[in-house]
C-alpha cells in the first residue's frame, strides 16, 4: 500500500454521476448507495466520510467492511490512493488502521467480525458509520453500528455502499420496502471514468449477474433453473449445523466446472439445509476433489452421495475408487440445462 508519506491526492472531488452527488450531499440519517460494479460507490462512501470529518472537527467515524482482513487492500487503499490528500492527515496508525486528521477528526477502519474492537469504539460513541460492500453484512451488524451513533456535537449518520443482492436481503427490506432511509442507485454505465474494455466485458454478463452487477438491480436467483426456489423462503441466516445430522451430497461432474452441494437433514423436523457448496473453478483430479469433499464433511456422517446423469457411470466409478461412492440418481435431466 502507498504509505502516508508517499501519497499525493488531489481532493477536488467531482461526482461522476447523480447518485454519487446525491449520496455524498445527503444529510439523511440512513443512506444507501446501491450500485453495479465500478459505479463509484467506494469513492463516494469515502468522500462522504472525509467531508463529515472535515466539516465537523473532532468527529469520529468508523469505516468498515464485514471482515476486517478485507478492508486494508480495498476500502482503505482507495482512501489513501484516491480520496484523502496527504496534507489533511496528522497521524496514521497503520496497525490499528486509525487515521487522525489535522482538525482532530478521527477515522477508524475495521471489520464487523471483531466484537471486542466494536465494543471499544469509544465511550462517547461515533459520529458516523460507513459500510463498504454492505451486502456482506446482516441486520445485526447494522443495528449494532446504529447503537453507537451518539458522539455529541456532530450529526449522526450511517451510510453504506453495496452491490445489489436478492430482494430478501435486509438492506432491500430496510431501504426499498420499508423506506427507512435514502437510496441512491447507479449502474456501471453511469461512471464515465471506467475504461471502455471494462464496460465491454461487463456487457457480456447475462441473467442475474447482469441485473445485479452491471445494471445495479436487486434481483433474486429464483427462476434461473428451478422456479420453486424462493429467496424469501429458501435463504435463511447461517447457523451451526449439528454434527450429528446426516449429510447428503449432490454432484455435477465435469473436468473444468465440477460442482457439489452438501445438505444436512434435521432428524427432528425433517428439514434439509444446504450448508456448503463446492465450485473449485480450476481443473483438478478426482483424488483432490474427494479430499476437498472429505474436508467439508469432516466429523459428519455422509449417508448418500448422488450425481451425474444416467450415462456417467465412469465418473461415478472414478469417485468411488477414490473413497467417495456416488450413486446414480433416480431422475436426471440429461438434456443440458439452459
Ligand atoms: N468522482 C470520481 N472522480 C474520479 N474518478 C472516479 C470517481 N468515482 C469513481 N471514479 C473512478 O472509478 C473507479 C471505480 O470507482 P469505485 O471504486 O468507487 O467503484 P465501486 O462502485 O466501489 O466499484 P466496485 O463495484 O468494484 O466496488 C475508481 O477506481 C476511480 O478510478
Ligand atoms: Mg467498491
What is the per-residue pLDDT across 285-318, written as a single tens digit (0 to 9) for each? 999 999 999 999 999 999 999 998 888 999 999 9
SS3 label, residue 187? coil
Domain-by-domain residue ranges, the chain?
A: 18-214, 238-321
Q: What is the pLDDT of residue 5?
A: 39
Q: What is the pLDDT of residue 16?
A: 92
CA distance 68 to 183: 25
Mean pLDDT of 172-180: 96
Q: Is 14 in the pocket of ligand 1 (CB under 6 A)?
A: yes
Q: Is 216 in the pocket of ligand 1 (CB under 6 A)?
A: no
Task: Considering the domain delimited by 18-214, tell me its CATH architecture.
Answer: 3-Layer(aba) Sandwich (3.40)
CA distance 162 to 111: 15
Higher local confidence (pLDDT), 123 or 147: 147
The ligand minimizing its distance to the Cα of 187 is 1
pLDDT > 90 in the chain, percent: 73
CA distance 127 to 129: 7
Is 3.30.420.280 the CATH classification of the domain at 238-321?
yes
Is residue 33 within 8 Å of residue 47, measured between CB atoms? no
Q: Ligand 1 atom 23: the closest Cα is on which residue?
A: 38
Mean pLDDT of 4-24: 75
Phi and psi, residue 250, nearest 5°: -125, 135
What residues are paired with 130 via a beta bridge? 63, 159
Q: What is the pLDDT of residue 213?
A: 93
What tens digit of pLDDT does each residue of 70-96 get? 999 999 999 999 999 999 999 999 999
Is residue 57 within 8 Å of residue 102, measured between CB atoms? no
Mean pLDDT of the chain: 89
What tens digit of pLDDT does each residue of 83-131 get? 999 999 999 999 999 999 999 999 999 999 876 666 667 778 999 999 9
Atom of ligand 1 nearest to the CA of 78: 17
Q: Is 39 in the pocket of ligand 1 (CB under 6 A)?
A: yes
Q: Is 195 in the pocket of ligand 1 (CB under 6 A)?
A: no
Q: Ligand 1 atom 15: the closest Cα is on which residue?
A: 40
CA distance 104 to 85: 15
Residue 283 has pLDDT above 70, yes or no: yes
Amino acid at each position: 500500500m502507498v504509505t502516508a508519506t508517499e501519497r499525493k491526492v488531489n481532493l477536488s472531488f467531482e461526482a461522476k454521476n447523480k447518485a454519487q452527488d446525491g449520496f455524498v450531499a445527503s444529510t439523511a440519517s440512513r443512506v444507501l448507495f446501491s450500485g453495479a460494479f465500478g459505479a463509484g460507490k467506494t469513492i463516494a462512501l469515502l468522500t462522504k466520510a472525509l467531508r463529515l470529518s472535515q466539516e465537523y472537527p473532532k468527529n469520529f467515524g468508523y469505516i468498515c467492511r464485514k471482515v476486517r482482513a478485507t478492508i486494508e487492500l480495498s476500502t482503505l487503499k482507495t482512501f489513501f490512493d484516491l480520496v484523502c490528500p496527504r496534507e489533511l492527515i496528522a497521524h496514521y496508525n497503520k496497525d490499528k488502521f486509525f487515521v487522525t486528521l489535522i482538525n482532530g477528526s478521527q477515522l477508524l477502519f475495521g471489520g464487523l467480525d471483531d466484537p471486542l474492537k466494536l465494543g471499544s469504539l469509544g465511550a462517547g460513541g461515533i459520529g458516523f458509520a460507513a459500510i463498504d460492500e454492505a451486502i456482506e453484512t446482516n441486520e445485526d451488524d447494522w443495528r449494532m453500528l446504529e447503537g453507537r451513533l451518539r458522539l455529541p456535537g456532530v450529526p449522526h449518520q450511517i451510510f453504506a455502499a453495496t452491490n445489489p443482492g436478492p430482494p430478501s436481503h435486509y438492506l432491500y427490506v430496510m431501504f426499498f420496502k420499508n423506506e427507512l432511509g435514502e437510496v441512491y442507485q447507479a449502474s456501471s454505465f453511469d461512471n464515465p471514468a471506467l475504461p471502455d474494455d471494462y464496460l465491454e466485458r461487463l456487457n457480456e454478463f447475462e441473467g442475474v449477474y447482469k441485473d445485479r452487477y452491471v445494471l445495479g438491480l436487486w434481483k433474486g436467483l429464483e427462476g434461473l433453473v428451478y422456479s420453486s426456489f424462493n429467496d424469501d423462503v429458501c435463504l435463511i441466516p447461517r447457523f451451526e449445523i449439528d454434527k450429528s445430522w446426516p449429510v447428503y451430497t449432490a454432484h455435477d461432474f465435469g473436468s473444468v466446472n465440477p460442482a457439489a452441494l452438501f445438505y444436512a437433514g434435521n432428524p427432528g423436523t425433517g428439514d434439509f439445509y444446504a450448508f456448503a457448496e463446492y465450485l473449485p473453478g480450476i481443473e483438478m483430479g478426482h483424488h483432490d476433489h474427494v479430499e476437498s469433499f472429505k474436508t467439508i464433511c469432516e466429523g459428519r456422517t455422509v449417508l448418500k452421495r448422488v450425481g451425474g446423469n444416467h450415462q456417467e457411470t465412469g465418473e461415478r466409478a472414478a469417485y468411488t475408487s477414490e473413497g467417495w461412492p456416488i450413486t446414480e440418481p433416480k431422475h436426471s435431466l440429461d438434456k443440458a440445462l439452459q
